[in-house]
Amino acid sequence: DAGITQSPRHKVTETGTPVTLRCHQTENHRYMYWYRQDPGHGLRLIHYSYGVKDTDKGEVSDGYSVSRSKTEDFLLTLESATSSQTSVYFCAISLSRTDTQYFGPGTRLTVL
Amino acid sequence: EDKVVQSPLSLVVHEGDTVTLNCSYEVTNFRSLLWYKQEKKAPTFLFMLTSSGIEKKSGRLSSILDKKELFSILNITATQTGDSAVYLCAVPNFGNEKLTFGTGTRLTIIP
């Protein structure tokens, strides 16, 4: 999986609680991405980062924030989780913006 | 808005059959098209296509792009049960930061 880990791998939480998902890479790739995958929608980009402290929104960014204080870590935070955020979350990395994106193993999040 | 449509949504064939998966796209400033295979975990990269009419091959898998008609096909010959997966097609935007994915084709190979 190209040196990408995600934690936790599974999480069940309640509506209204904050949740943070972590993506860690050992490849020293500049670009990191957070996607969510839902039936009927495929993979959709939430946020991405093009360097330390440099982030931008994707197509479904509402309700999510991100931070990247180190090259190797990209955090996705749900400030107040809702049931609509129940999904599988994938992190991806790429060496540059024109290179292929490689995906982490995913985190299954259930919001009750 | 960029758009990627895959067909069929699902396909069930017998081991040894040949299958063709389709991906059509609408994207401004086309740069490339990517195919991924997703089993029960993360999508894994298969091919990147940038030039029309040039076939990419990897073992029993091959793919070709038609930039005039805005589609790509993924062929799998002599299918095996290990080919059972969801196959995803994606196109990046001009800057390549954002991939637009299709919803995938779920391929099931019956022994």
State how far the Cα of B22 lies from the Cα of A42, in Å rounded to an integer. Answer: 16
> Does the N-terminal peptide bond of residue A8 adopt cis geometry, omega within 30 degrees of 0?
yes
Nearest CA distance, B43 vs chain A (angstrom): 6
Nearest CB to B41 within list A31, A41, A106: A106
Share of chain A above pLDDT 70, in %: 98
CB contact under 8 A, B104 and A42: yes
pLDDT at B51: 77
For B6-15, what is each residue's pLDDT tens digit? 999 999 999 9
| Cα distances (Å, whole numbers) of residue A15 to A71, A86, A91, B72 | 31, 10, 23, 42
Indicate which of B96, B100, B106 best probes the interface with A, i.e. most A CBs within 10 Å of its own CB: B96
Which residues touch B98 (CB under 8 Å, ≥6 apart)?
A: A45, A48, A58, A59, B92
Say whether pLDDT at B46 is over 80. yes
The SS3 of residue B48 is strand
A102 close to B (CB below 8 A): yes
Which residues does chain B have within 8 Å of residue A43's beta carbon, measured at their own beta carbons?
43, 88, 90, 99, 101
The residue ranking higher by pLDDT, A71 or A39, is: A71
**Average pLDDT value for residue range B73-79:** 98
- Would you say residue A93 has pLDDT above 70? yes
Q: Is the pLDDT of residue A63 over 90?
A: yes
pLDDT of residue B41: 84
> Between chains, do A40 and B42 touch, taking CB under 8 Å as contact?
no
User: Residues A14-24: what's their mean pLDDT?
Assistant: 97
Contact map slice: A 69-98 vs B, CB within 8 A: 90, 94, 97-98
Q: What is the reported pLDDT for B14?
A: 97
A6 and A102 in contact (C-beta within 8 Å)?
A: no
Q: Are A89 and A35 in contact (CB under 8 A)?
A: yes
Q: For residue B96, what pLDDT is reported?
A: 59
**Beta strands B19-26 and B71-76, pairing class:** antiparallel
Predicted confidence (pLDDT) at residue A40 exceeds the cutoff of 90: no
Residue contact A50–B97, C-beta within 8 A: yes
Residue B111: how many CB atoms within 10 A of its CB? 7
The residue to which tokens 């008609």 are assigned: B69
Percent with pLDDT over 70 in chain B: 96
